[in-house]
Chain A
Amino acid sequence: MNDMSRVERQVDTNKIKLECRDCQVYYGETHAIKDVNVDIEDKTVTAFIGPSGCGKSTFLRCLNRMNDTIDVARVKGSFKLDGEDIYDKRVDPVQLRAKVGMVFQKPNPFPKSIYDNVAYGPRIHGLARNKAELDEIVEKSLRRGAIWNEVKDRLDAPGTGLSGGQQQRLCIARAVATEPEVLLMDEPCSALDPIATAQVEELIDELRSRYSVVIVTHSMQQAARVSQKTAFFHLGNLVEFGETGQIFTNPEDPRTESYITGRIG
């Protein structure tokens, strides 16, 4: 593919966190992802855009092996996190997912208290040696999730009682609590109203200072607002990948242009 050369050019600015080569995904008989090559950079927001069913969510789920939980899905190709193949037989997906956290389309707080929701990850990974440390982690994560001020007085209230936007920020805080290095977000704002969306977008921008963030989104405006790099998927193919500004102002592939101008998708 001709975009390979451009990817090479970006390397000098930021370190490559996650390197994907010749990735294929099959759902039973369906070939859902075809020959995708992408490099996710550290401390960068990368957006995946494309019409529904183009495979962007599927590809995202490959990055922390969430597809393992689906029986019929098969993944091929090389995915290297800091140079290590995440599909290596010796890799425990559990460890991987602690490093590569995920936030889902629909806010899915556990039916527990706000505190327990955030403390869940640190507890299972054993990140805190005592209650005080755990409290600290919870507070820090909720602050990073930009929700601390709203919930600090009711940490014992159930997480399911929050509003949609608060729930999603809680889920982000929950994901942040395990100290991931990469944060995957699968259409995190699609179930939120515009105000909550703005809050989450602001949060994503702050998260960039610590993590490498990958976001799948339907909204091109959102991709333009929050991301530095953009990948356009179409029918399971990666059509174009590059600087967000360039993709939106000067796309190389006619399909990208059609999508951005609203003719397909």
Chain B
Amino acid sequence: MTDASMQENPEATPHPVSLTAPNERTRKRAKAERRFRAYGIAAVATGLFFLVVLFTSILSEGIPAFTRTVVSVEFTLTEQQREESEAELFKTKAYSNLFISALKTELDERGLNVEINEDAIERLLGKVGGTIRTFYSENPGKLGEPVEFDLAASSRVDGYFKGRVSRDTMQDSRFLEKSDLDLVDALKEAGVIKQAFNWPFITGADSGVDNPGGAGIGASVVGSFFMMLVVLGLSLPIGVAASIYLEEFAPQNRFTDLIEVNISNLAAVPSIVFGILGLAVFIQFMHLPQSAPLVGGLVLTLMTLPTIIISTRASLKAVPPSIRDAALGVGASKMQAVFHHVLPLAAPGILTGTIIGLAQALGETAPLLLIGMVGFVARGYPDGFLAGFTEPNSAMPAQIYTWASRADAAFYEKAWGGIIILLVFLLTMNIIAIILRRRFERRW
């Protein structure tokens, strides 16, 4: 039958005789198809691979920041010992000697005989005497009772436990000597030195450049919190008001067009430019305090506004016109129709957009660099609610950047740990946004 069609068609039929027997060309085409598909799979896989690498390195590098090495020693100070020590010229030294002898006794009891000298203890645990003295002057009632002291080991010792410092690569310095590691090993065998959860990292403030062990992210979390309060308090009402105007009331004219063009362009302006704006307008021109969460919040508000306006307008647009018509039909004014009916129906969408905008603002770093939130070392919590806005403070991403740019590698661990905390906040916010969307999403 192919013959028949051949005779009638002057040209030879170009198609293979049978559908089930692929010819050379179809095979080649099928191969090209498979190759193309493989590129696609490879691209998706590469993207996911990067995601996995990113998260593995965050987790593997950051989790150690949540543990710290402590030496816990049970120690009893009698009234008499205290008085004797207070009479000495070098008071803290006297306390530290008492501590060393207590430690020695404890080690001896367990049958471990190691040389403990005072300098080594100072390299391992810092100024022990001072810590003990402060404790008893604050808690005189504890005199004569056994007290369990959890003393934070120095960051080098911490690094030795976490594998950052090893016997082979380390060099003797005033921070740690090789011989100290023998002592550390002995203490470890005795169970005196151990890993504990690093509460000070979560609750504490930044430490100085040479004390990575004591650095905490707590103060900058507070700084970020105040910034977010400013962002929320300004960008939500302004953003919603602007969106309502543009979506419901704006006449079709040049001015409205100008606003629209501005919003879509601002959404794509690099964040660093907002930092320049903040520096020039808020700090140089309006003389607001540098490094203050208030200024950071203002800058981030301007940055977040376009995002919030765009998402709010989308949710307002999603409310069908029939709702407005219904309200207008019973004699409500346009304003009442919008505020009584449209806005409540759009609220979940607006909220979702706002939370996502806030999450974006929370992770933003570049503008904060310019308004001085990085140079500032937050050493404590603000003094009160209002001071929280105006007192210089750091913010989470700025704090992470500060740690990452310090010379001591021990701070890197803190930076990764800080990122985990930052991501936990972001994740929580995004999950809330997703839940809100799932729960209140309405299909018209």
A touches B in complex, CB < 8 A: yes
Residues on A facing B (Cβ under 8 Å): 15, 42, 81-82, 84, 86, 88, 90-92, 94-96, 98-99, 124-127, 178-179, 181, 210
Q: Is B56 an interface residue (CB 8 A)?
A: no
8 smallest CB-CB distances across A and B, nearest first, come from: A90-B20, A91-B19, A126-B25, A127-B14, A84-B19, A99-B15, A179-B14, A95-B26
Q: Is the CB of B22 within 8 A of A92?
A: yes
User: When chains A and B are docked, how far (Å) is the Cα of A181 from the Cα of B15?
Assistant: 10
Selected interface stretch from B5-13, B150-158, B376-384: B5-13
User: When chains A and B are docked, how far (Å) is the Cα of A100 from the Cα of B26?
Assistant: 16
Q: Which residues on the A side are within 8 Å of B9 (C-beta)?
A: 179, 210
Q: Which residues on the A side are within 8 Å of B8 (C-beta)?
A: 210
User: When chains A and B are docked, how far (Å) is the Cα of A210 from the Cα of B11?
Assistant: 12
Residues of chain B in range 15-72 having any CB-CB distance to chain A below 8 Å: 15-16, 18-20, 22, 25-26, 29-30
User: When chains A and B are docked, how far (Å) is the Cα of A1 from the Cα of B119?
Assistant: 105
Taking a contact as CB atoms closer than 8 A, the residue among B1, B2, B11, B20 that contacts A88 in the complex is B20
Q: Is the CB of B29 within 8 A of A94?
A: yes
Q: Which residues on the A side are within 8 Å of B18 (C-beta)?
A: 84
Q: Is the CB of B20 within 8 A of A124?
A: no
User: When chains A and B are docked, how far (Å) is the Cα of A82 from the Cα of B5?
Assistant: 11
Taking a contact as CB atoms closer than 8 A, the residue among B4, B5, B19 that contacts A95 in the complex is B19
Would you give 26 A-B contacts (Cβ < 8 Å), ordered by A? A15-B4, A82-B1, A82-B2, A84-B18, A84-B19, A84-B20, A86-B19, A88-B20, A91-B20, A92-B22, A92-B26, A92-B30, A94-B26, A94-B29, A95-B15, A95-B19, A95-B26, A96-B19, A98-B15, A124-B29, A125-B25, A178-B14, A179-B11, A179-B14, A181-B5, A210-B9
User: When chains A and B are docked, how far (Å) is the Cα of A210 from the Cα of B10?
Assistant: 11
User: When chains A and B are docked, how far (Å) is the Cα of A178 from the Cα of B8?
Assistant: 17
By beta carbon, the residue of chain A nearest B9 is A210
User: When chains A and B are docked, how far (Å) is the Cα of A129 from the Cα of B216?
Assistant: 73
User: When chains A and B are docked, how far (Å) is the Cα of A57 from the Cα of B18?
Assistant: 26
By beta carbon, the residue of chain A nearest B4 is A15
For the residues of A in contact with B, the DSSP-based class is: loop
| Min distance, Cβ B21 to any Cβ of chain A, angstroms | 8
By beta carbon, the residue of chain A nearest B18 is A84
Q: Is the CB of A81 within 8 A of B19?
A: yes
Q: Which residues on the A side are within 8 Å of B25 (C-beta)?
A: 125-126
Q: How many residue pairs, one in A and one in B, have C-beta atoms under 8 Å apart?
A: 47
User: When chains A and B are docked, how far (Å) is the Cα of A98 from the Cα of B25?
Assistant: 13
By beta carbon, the residue of chain B nearest A90 is B20
Q: Is the CB of A95 within 8 A of B1?
A: no
Residues of chain B in range 148-169 having any CB-CB distance to chain A below 8 Å: none
Query: How many B residues have CB within 8 A of the partner chain?
Result: 19
Q: Is the CB of A95 within 8 A of B13?
A: no
**Given A15-B4, A181-B5, A95-B22 contact (CB < 8 Å):** yes
Q: Is the CB of A99 within 8 A of B19?
A: yes
User: When chains A and B are docked, how far (Å) is the Cα of A232 from the Cα of B26?
Assistant: 37
User: When chains A and B are docked, how far (Å) is the Cα of A96 from the Cα of B15?
Assistant: 9
By beta carbon, the residue of chain B nearest A83 is B1
Q: Is the CB of A15 within 8 A of B26?
A: no
User: When chains A and B are docked, how far (Å) is the Cα of A201 from the Cα of B47?
Assistant: 52
User: When chains A and B are docked, how far (Å) is the Cα of A124 from the Cα of B11?
Assistant: 19
Residues of chain B in range 83-133 having any CB-CB distance to chain A below 8 Å: none
List 15 additional contacts besides A82-B2, A179-B14; criterion CB under 8 Å: A81-B19, A84-B18, A86-B19, A88-B20, A92-B30, A94-B26, A95-B16, A95-B26, A99-B15, A99-B19, A179-B9, A179-B11, A179-B15, A181-B13, A210-B9
Q: Which residues on the A side are within 8 Å of B20 (C-beta)?
A: 84, 88, 90-91
User: When chains A and B are docked, how far (Å) is the Cα of A42 from the Cα of B5?
Assistant: 10
Q: Which residues on the B side are within 8 Å of A95 (C-beta)?
A: 15-16, 19, 22, 26
Q: Which residues on the A side are within 8 Å of B5 (C-beta)?
A: 42, 181
| Min distance, Cβ B97 to any Cβ of chain A, angstroms | 80
User: When chains A and B are docked, how far (Å) is the Cα of A126 from the Cα of B15?
Assistant: 10
User: When chains A and B are docked, how far (Å) is the Cα of A39 from the Cα of B19?
Assistant: 19
By beta carbon, the residue of chain A nearest B17 is A82
| Min distance, Cβ B30 to any Cβ of chain A, angstroms | 7
| Min distance, Cβ B299 to any Cβ of chain A, angstroms | 44
| Min distance, Cβ B32 to any Cβ of chain A, angstroms | 10
User: When chains A and B are docked, how far (Å) is the Cα of A117 from the Cα of B205?
Assistant: 68
User: When chains A and B are docked, how far (Å) is the Cα of A134 from the Cα of B16?
Assistant: 19
By beta carbon, the residue of chain A nearest B27 is A92
By beta carbon, the residue of chain B nearest A124 is B29
User: When chains A and B are docked, how far (Å) is the Cα of A90 from the Cα of B27?
Assistant: 12
User: When chains A and B are docked, how far (Å) is the Cα of A181 from the Cα of B20?
Assistant: 16
User: When chains A and B are docked, how far (Å) is the Cα of A202 from the Cα of B127?
Assistant: 102
User: When chains A and B are docked, how far (Å) is the Cα of A82 from the Cα of B22?
Assistant: 16
User: When chains A and B are docked, how far (Å) is the Cα of A124 from the Cα of B19?
Assistant: 17
By beta carbon, the residue of chain A nearest B20 is A90
Q: Which residues on the A side are within 8 Å of B1 (C-beta)?
A: 15, 82
User: When chains A and B are docked, how far (Å) is the Cα of A124 from the Cα of B30?
Assistant: 12
Q: Which residues on the A side are within 8 Å of B4 (C-beta)?
A: 15
Taking a contact as CB atoms closer than 8 A, the residue among B2, B11, B14 that contacts A125 in the complex is B14
By beta carbon, the residue of chain A nearest B15 is A99
User: When chains A and B are docked, how far (Å) is the Cα of A33 from the Cα of B103?
Assistant: 89
Q: Which of B2, B14, B22 has the most CB of A within 10 A?
A: B14
Q: Which residues on the A side are within 8 Å of B16 (C-beta)?
A: 95
Q: Which residues on the B side are within 8 Å of A98 (C-beta)?
A: 15
By beta carbon, the residue of chain B nearest A82 is B1
User: When chains A and B are docked, how far (Å) is the Cα of A15 from the Cα of B2?
Assistant: 12
Q: Which residues on the A side are within 8 Å of B30 (C-beta)?
A: 92, 94
User: When chains A and B are docked, how far (Å) is the Cα of A99 from the Cα of B13?
Assistant: 10
Q: Which residues on the B side are within 8 Å of A82 (C-beta)?
A: 1-2
User: When chains A and B are docked, how far (Å) is the Cα of A210 from the Cα of B4?
Assistant: 12
Q: Which residues on the B side are within 8 Å of A90 (C-beta)?
A: 20
Q: Which residues on the B side are within 8 Å of A124 (C-beta)?
A: 29
By beta carbon, the residue of chain A nearest B8 is A210
By beta carbon, the residue of chain B nearest A209 is B8
By beta carbon, the residue of chain B nearest A98 is B15
User: When chains A and B are docked, how far (Å) is the Cα of A126 from the Cα of B5?
Assistant: 21
User: When chains A and B are docked, how far (Å) is the Cα of A41 from the Cα of B140?
Assistant: 108
Q: Which of B9, B15, B25 has the most CB of A within 10 A?
A: B15
| Min distance, Cβ B349 to any Cβ of chain A, angstroms | 30
User: When chains A and B are docked, how far (Å) is the Cα of A95 from the Cα of B11?
Assistant: 19
User: When chains A and B are docked, how far (Å) is the Cα of A98 from the Cα of B22?
Assistant: 13
Q: Is the CB of A179 within 8 A of B22?
A: no
| Min distance, Cβ B229 to any Cβ of chain A, angstroms | 48
**Given A15-B1, A81-B19, A90-B20, A179-B29 contact (CB < 8 Å):** no
